[in-house]
């Protein structure tokens, strides 16, 4: 069994988001000195304000139907793409985003909606965004533009992670010295709370493909030898909130909810505060949950609105994608100042769009959509009027789902609701949450720099994973076993006869943890296993789960094979006796962990083994 490597020098929290991604880091020797990065390349050229994240986008060069090359990532990808046409440069100057008096996240994703959007390609270039949504099966995946040839969701994610990891490594060297290498780094990636074990495995595969960590999928040997740590986004945000905004808000044993409102998902968790810094400890009261109702869904609603109102808008999207990017900045300004009481907004349209629409001669079919500028003919199409009702209609379906999630997770004696993430800067979202729950929850707050909450908290959890002392199991977990057959108890269908003549019942689901159980961080399930054959040099153990509390067989409705892990052992032939291995499983951590130690051999050496979860292969 393999040994355990030395502790890393640096811990990095990486928030890989649907719309934007960012990171924070700290030396393990100085855990309280956490740095969040803000100075992203091309951020100002792209029209973005100083912000702790770069765009989660990639720019590919299309050489042929079989060949694509990654050209840029993040803000540089956006800037290079929007500057590919000389006409678009003039348009973008007309749509400069003014200074805003709050922290704003520009969701400059390629506009999406129904029907599925076309690829955002121009001049042999393909700008790809929102590809994170393709890593899981979900309704929101239909809003992702088509991928360029030969590119998959996993390869795109690996491309992005590879590029941002190189950037992070350079930042670490600038900060701590040129001696820092990937081998010194503990990577802590955050994932949505609604991701299951299979989706987390896909993210692990992507990180390995990107070279962040060593493994069979990595094409390089320079990745970190330290196992990747995955934390849920609301959990890391909860830790951040405890560090930066709970003075006077929470006493010991107070319960609070964290609502992480991002671009793609909204994720929630309810914690109880058990201890304050420097020995911060939290207990999960409600299991983390969420849905695909982030801020980008408001953008989808806006573009659906335009497609209904302007008959040529779909053609405009396809023919002028770079001009459309500039138009998005104008929309963002309107989106993030809407509070439900603004009155009418007048959105200046790109001249190309106005000309296209007017040339179709359908202006008379859209009464009250456009208002003429004073002194101009009434049929002018340069300006789009958005009424308060129009704006609310775009926000309300999304916010209604956010409010439903909060309601579903309400518990008695909740002291605070903390709202974080880029979408939390929406005054309308905050107002609706306050209106709905202000009379039931004493305090509803947004921390300073809410966009950095997830990556900053991930660093802290990476240093001290035991801050969350217990979690609620979302599913029932166990393994497949065979037991001596008992007539009347076991099913004849699974009855088998061993070579010894004994009858056994196979496919029994041995329950380790039940759905809804509170499992402490260090709680373990221990079992001793031994090989069935003298020549066997590896133990293969399958892990199953169920959405039901009471399970009898692995074939019961709702059961599925989650994954497996294997333990290398010396064979019986080699030892001269049957090797026995004690395997311990931890279900109270951010992920299921497994350790193993020989019971009658090599008993001083306990090793950790990753569980390889099953994905459906669609990525």
Backbone φ and ψ for 129, nearest 5 degrees, come out as -140, 170
Which residues lie below 8 Å from residue 607, measured CB to CB, with a gap of 6+? 1, 2, 3, 4, 595, 596, 597
- Whether 340 has a pLDDT exceeding 70, the answer reads yes
HSE-CB for 363 with a 13 A CA cutoff = 19
Name every residue whose Cβ is closer than 8 Å to that of residue 586 and which is 6 or more positions away in sequence: 521, 522, 523, 524, 592, 593, 594, 595
Cα separation of 410 and 221, whole Å?
47
pLDDT surpasses 80 at 121: no
CA–CA separation, 329 and 333 (whole Å): 6
Rounded distance, CA 595 to CA 438, Å? Answer: 46
Residues 209, 86, single domain; the answer is: yes
Q: Whose structure tokens read 């990017």? A: 325
**Are 246 and 314 in a shared domain?**
no
Tell me if 441 is assigned to some domain.
Answer: yes
Q: Cα–Cα distance between 55 and 42 in angstroms, integer?
A: 11
**pLDDT (tens digit per residue) in 4-51:** 567 899 999 999 999 899 999 999 999 999 999 999 999 888 777 778
pLDDT tens for 424-478 read: 999 999 999 999 999 999 999 998 888 899 999 999 999 998 999 999 999 999 8
Q: Are residues 376 and 414 in the same domain?
A: no
Q: 510 and 607 share a domain? A: yes
Across the chain, what does the average pLDDT equal?
A: 84
- Residue 105 vs residue 83, higher pLDDT: 83
Cα–Cα distance for residue pair 547/437, rounded to 1 Å: 30
Domain boundary among 345, 363, 393: 393
User: Do both 558 and 450 map to the same domain?
Assistant: no
Residues 31 and 166 grouped into a single domain? yes
Note the pLDDT of residue 583.
Answer: 82
pLDDT of 615: 59
| 393, 420, 446 - which closes a domain | 393
Is residue 5 in a domain? no
**Position 365 pLDDT exceeds 70:** no
Do residues 316 and 373 share a domain?
yes
DSSP assignment of 239-253, as one string? Answer: HHHHHHS-TTT--TT
Give how far Cα 144 sits from Cα of 281, 305, 397, 400, 537, Å.
39, 18, 19, 23, 46
pLDDT digits (tens, 9 = 90+) for 476-518: 998 888 889 999 999 999 998 877 788 989 899 989 899 999 9
Say what the pLDDT of residue 373 is. Answer: 35
Residue 399 has pLDDT above 90, yes or no: yes
Which of the four pLDDT bands, split at 50, 70 and 90, describes residue 145? confident
Assess if residue 3 is contained within a domain: no
Task: Give dist(CA 544, CA 565) in Å, integer.
Answer: 12
Structural domain includes residue 254:
yes
Which CATH number does the domain housing residue 59 bear? 3.30.420.40
603 part of a folded domain: yes
Q: Where are the beta strands (DSSP E) in 412-558?
A: 414-420, 443-445, 468-472, 476-484, 495-497, 503-513, 518-520, 524-529, 538-546
Say yes or no: 288 and 409 in one domain.
yes
61 and 196 part of one domain: yes
DSSP character for 493?
A: G
In a domain, 111, yes or no: yes
Is the backbone peptide bond immediately before 387 cis, with ω within 30 degrees of 0?
A: no
Domain encompassing residue 580 = 473-613
Neighbouring-strand partners of residue 10: 27, 185
Q: What percent of the chain has pLDDT over 70?
A: 85
Residue 571 to residue 443: CA distance in whole angstroms: 61
**Total of domains in the chain:** 4
Q: Same structural domain for residues 168 and 253?
A: no
CATH number, domain containing residue 501? 2.60.34
**Which of 412 and 65 is assigned the larger pLDDT?**
412
Model confidence at 320, pLDDT cuts 50, 70, 90, reads confident
Q: What is the pLDDT of residues 561-598, one digit of tens each?
A: 988 888 888 877 778 787 888 888 888 888 888 888 88
Confidence category of residue 390, pLDDT binned at 50, 70, 90: very high
Among the candidates 192, 210, 231, a domain finishes at: 231
Q: Specify whether 72 is located in the same domain as 131.
A: yes
Average pLDDT score over residue span 342-367: 75
Q: What is the pLDDT of residue 378?
A: 39
Whether residues 388 and 406 share a domain: the answer is no
- Say what the pLDDT of residue 51 is: 86
Other beta carbons less than 10 A from residue 148's beta carbon: 20
Query: For residue 85, what pLDDT is reported?
Result: 54
Residue 68 lies in a domain: yes
What pLDDT sits at residue 376?
37
Q: Give the model's pLDDT for residue 379.
A: 42
Res. 87: pLDDT tops 50 = no
CA 505 to chain centre: 41
Q: Which of 153, 198, 45 is nearest to 108 (CA)?
A: 45
612 vs 426, higher pLDDT? 426
């Amino acid at each position: 069994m393999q040994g355990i490597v030395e502790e890393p020098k640096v811990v990095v929290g990486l928030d890989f988001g649907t719309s934007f991604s960012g990171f924070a880091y700290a030396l393990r020797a100085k855990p309280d000195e956490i740095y969040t990065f803000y100075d992203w390349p091309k951020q100002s050229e792209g029209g973005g304000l100083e912000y702790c994240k770069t765009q989660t986008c990639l720019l590919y060069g299309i050489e042929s139907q079989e060949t694509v090359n990654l050209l840029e990532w993040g803000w540089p990808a956006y800037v290079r793409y929007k500057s590919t046409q000389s006409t678009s440069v003039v348009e973008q100057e007309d749509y400069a985003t003014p200074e805003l008096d709050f922290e704003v996240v520009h969701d400059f994703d390629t506009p999406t909606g129904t029907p599925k959007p076309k690829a955002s390609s121009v001049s042999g270039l393909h700008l790809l965004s929102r590809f994170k949504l393709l890593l899981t099966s979900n309704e929101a995946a239909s809003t992702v533009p088509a991928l360029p040839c030969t590119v998959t969701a996993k390869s795109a994610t690996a491309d992005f992670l590879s590029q941002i990891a190189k950037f992070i490594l350079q930042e670490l060297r600038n900060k701590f010295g040129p001696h820092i290498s990937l081998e010194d780094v503990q990577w802590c990636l955050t994932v949505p709370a609604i991701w299951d074990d299979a989706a987390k495995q896909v993210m692990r595969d992507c990180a390995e493909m990107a070279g962040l960590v060593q493994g069979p999928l990595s094409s390089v040997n320079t990745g970190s030898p330290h196992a990747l740590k995955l934390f849920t986004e609301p959990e890391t945000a909860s830790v951040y909130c405890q560090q930066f905004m709970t003075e006077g808000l929470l006493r010991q044993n107070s319960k609070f909810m964290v609502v992480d409102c991002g671009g793609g998902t909204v994720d929630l968790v309810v914690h109880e505060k058990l201890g304050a810094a420097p020995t911060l400890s939290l207990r999960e009261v409600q299991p983390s949950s969420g849905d695909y109702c982030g801020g980008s869904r408001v953008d989808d609603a806006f573009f659906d609105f335009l497609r209904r109102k302007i008959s040529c808008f779909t053609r405009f999207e396809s023919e002028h994608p770079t001009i459309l990017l500039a138009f998005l900045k104008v929309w963002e300004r309107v989106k993030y100042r809407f509070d439900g009481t603004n009155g009418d907004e007048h959105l200046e349209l790109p001249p190309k769009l106005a000309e296209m629409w007017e040339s179709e001669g359908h202006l008379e079919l859209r009464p009250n959509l456009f208002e003429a500028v004073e002194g101009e003919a009434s049929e002018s199409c340069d300006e789009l009027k958005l009424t308060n009702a129009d704006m609310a209609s775009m926000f309300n379906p999304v916010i209604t789902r956010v409010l439903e999630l909060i309601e579903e997770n309400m518990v008695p004696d909740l002291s605070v609701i903390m709202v974080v993430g880029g979408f939390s800067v929406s005054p309308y979202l905050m107002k609706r949450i306050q209106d709905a729950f202000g009379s039931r929850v004493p305090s509803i707050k947004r921390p300073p720099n809410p966009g950095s909450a997830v990556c900053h908290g991930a660093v802290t959890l990476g240093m001290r994973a035991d801050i969350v002392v217990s979690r609620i199991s979302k599913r029932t977990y166990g393994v497949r076993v065979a037991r001596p057959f008992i007539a009347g108890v076991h099913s004849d269908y699974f009855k088998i006869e061993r070579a010894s003549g004994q009858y056994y019942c196979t496919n029994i689901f041995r329950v380790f943890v039940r759905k809804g159980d509170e499992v402490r961080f260090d709680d373990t399930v221990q079992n001793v296993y031994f090989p069935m054959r003298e020549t066997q040099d590896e133990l293969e153990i399958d892990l199953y789960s169920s959405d039901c509390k009471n399970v009898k067989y692995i074939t019961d409705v709702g059961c599925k094979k989650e994954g497996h892990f294997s333990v290398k052992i010396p064979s019986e032939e080699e030892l001269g006796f049957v090797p026995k291995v004690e395997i311990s499983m931890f279900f109270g951590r951010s992920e299921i962990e497994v350790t193993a130690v020989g019971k009658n051999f090599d008993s001083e050496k306990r090793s950790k083994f990753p569980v390889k979860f099953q994905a459906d292969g669609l990525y």
